[in-house]
């Protein structure tokens, strides 16, 4: 029986992961930078220019938004460490998207490298 780790390894064998040192160029060239983490993770910090569509609703959101339906979109995905993004990239490829890349190491690697990030300024209700 497979576990989540097995599924991620299988997905990574079928997708293109962009190395951290090539990430900024890949993001500049992308039509769409997708953060597939949950909303609270995104609001805590994300890569500038990213759009948040959590992994659990990704296929539905892309299918229902005419601006995101074009299969020739150049898409870069990321999550916390790259597992969810790999699974998402595999799903998008199965949907017919032809230019999909996943950020190796995810947001954790991006952040550890000291690269630019944005955090939401949410009001404090305490």
41-55: per-residue pLDDT in tens?
A: 999 999 999 999 999
Task: Check residue 119 and give its pLDDT.
Answer: 86
- Per residue in 20-40, pLDDT (tens digit) is 999 999 999 999 999 999 999
102's enclosing H/E stretch is strand 99-103
pTM given for the model: 0.91
For the residues 87-98, what does the mean pLDDT come to? 96
Structure confidence at residue 121 as a pLDDT band (50, 70, 90): low
Q: Hey, what are 99's tokens? A: 């230019």
Q: Is residue 27 part of a domain?
A: yes
User: Across-strand partners of 51?
Assistant: 34
CATH number of domain containing 107: 3.40.250.10
Q: What is the pLDDT of residue 124?
A: 66
Which range marks the domain in which residue 74 is found?
4-112
Sign (positive/negative) of CA torsion 26, 102, 61, 80? negative
> How many structural domains are present in the chain?
1
Pick the closest to residue 32 from 99, 88, 94, 80 (CA basis).
99
Cα–Cα distance for residue pair 87/101, rounded to 1 Å: 11
């Amino acid at each position: 029986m497979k576990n989540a780790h097995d599924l991620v390894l299988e997905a990574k064998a079928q997708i293109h992961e962009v190395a951290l040192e090539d990430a900024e160029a890949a993001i500049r060239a992308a039509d769409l930078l997708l953060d597939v983490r949950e909303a609270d993770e995104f609001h805590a910090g994300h890569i500038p220019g990213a759009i948040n569509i959590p992994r659990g609703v990704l296929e539905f959101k892309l299918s229902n938004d005419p601006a995101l339906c074009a299969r020739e979109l150049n898409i870069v995905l990321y999550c916390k460490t790259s597992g969810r993004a790999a699974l998402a990239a595999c799903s998008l490829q199965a949907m017919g998207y032809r230019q999909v890349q996943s950020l190796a190491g995810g947001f954790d690697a991006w952040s550890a490298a000291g690269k630019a990030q944005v955090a939401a300024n949410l009001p404090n209700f305490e």
